[in-house]
Amino acid sequence: MMKYGIVAFPSKRLQDLANTYRKRYDSHYSKITPHITLKEAFEADENEISNISQSIASIAANHAPLNIHASKISSFFPTTNVIYFKVEPTDQLQKIHQDLQQQLNIGKPKHVFIPHITIAQDLTATEHDDIYGQLRMIGVNEQEVIDRIHLVYQLEDGSWTTYETYRLTGAE
C-alpha cells in the first residue's frame, strides 16, 4: 500500500510567495512545494493505481483550467492551528473536488472542502495567535489560472513525489 493525494500546484510566483512564509512557519515546508489539495491523502495498492490514474485522466478531461483567487490569509483555528491563503471557493473547484471524491470512491473526506494553500502549521497556540495577527494584516491577493493537476505519492520520510500530471482540457 502506498499513500497518494491529488493536488494543484499554483504558478512559481504564487509558490514563491507562499514559501516566504512556509520556510519559517510550516513544519511540512520541505515535504512538498506549495499546493491546493483537491483530494486528501488515500491509501492504494500499486496495482490499483493505473486504474485510479485513468479515472483521474477522464475527470481532468472534463474540467477546464481552474480560476484561482487567493484572496486573504485565514486560519482553521480552533480546529487546527493551520494558517493558509484562502482560495475563493468556486463552483468549478467544488465540482472537480466532488468528481474526484465520488468517481474515485477511495477514502471518505475528513473535512468539508475548503480550498486553501497552507502557509503555517504545527504552531503552538501563542505562535499561532502572534503570526496570524501579523499575516492577516499583510494579506494576499493573487489571481491566476492553473491548467493541470497532479497525482502524488508519499515516501517513508513524508515527502511527496509526482506520479502523473493531468491537463485540464474540458470546457467548464
Q: How far is CA 23 from CA 18, 33, 90, in A?
A: 9, 11, 29
CB of residue 160 to a copy of itself, shortest distance in Å: 8
Instruction: Report in angstroms how near the CB of residue 90 gets to a copy of itself at its nearest.
Output: 23
Nearer to a copy of itself among residue 134 and residue 162 (C-beta): 162
Decide if 150 is catalytic: no
Indicate the residue among 31 and 136 with the shorter CB distance to a copy of itself.
31
Choice among 63, 116, 128, 150 that is catalytic? 116
Integer CA distances (angstroms), 50 to 37, 44, 66, 160, in order: 20, 10, 24, 18
Residue 63 is a catalytic residue: no
User: The cell 493536488 sits on which residue?
Assistant: 7
- Give CA torsion, residues 126, 82, 19, 135, to 10 deg: -50
Please identify, using beta-carbon distances, which residue of 157 and 172 lies nearer to a copy of itself: 157
Residue 147: CB minimum distance to a copy of itself, A: 10
Amino acid at 37: T
Which residues contribute to the site for a copy of itself (CB under 8 A)?
2, 9, 12, 15-16, 19, 23, 29-31, 33, 148, 150, 153, 155-157, 159-165
CA distance 103 to 52: 9
What is the nearest approach in angstroms of a copy of itself to the Cβ of residue 172? 22
Annotated catalytic residue, options 35, 63, 97, 150: 35
Q: Which is nearer to a copy of itself, 77 or 163 (CB)?
A: 163
Distance, in Å, from the CA atom of 1 to the CA atom of 43, rounded to the nearest integer, reads 6
Residues 122, 114: contact at Cβ < 8 Å? Answer: no
Residues forming the active site? 35, 116
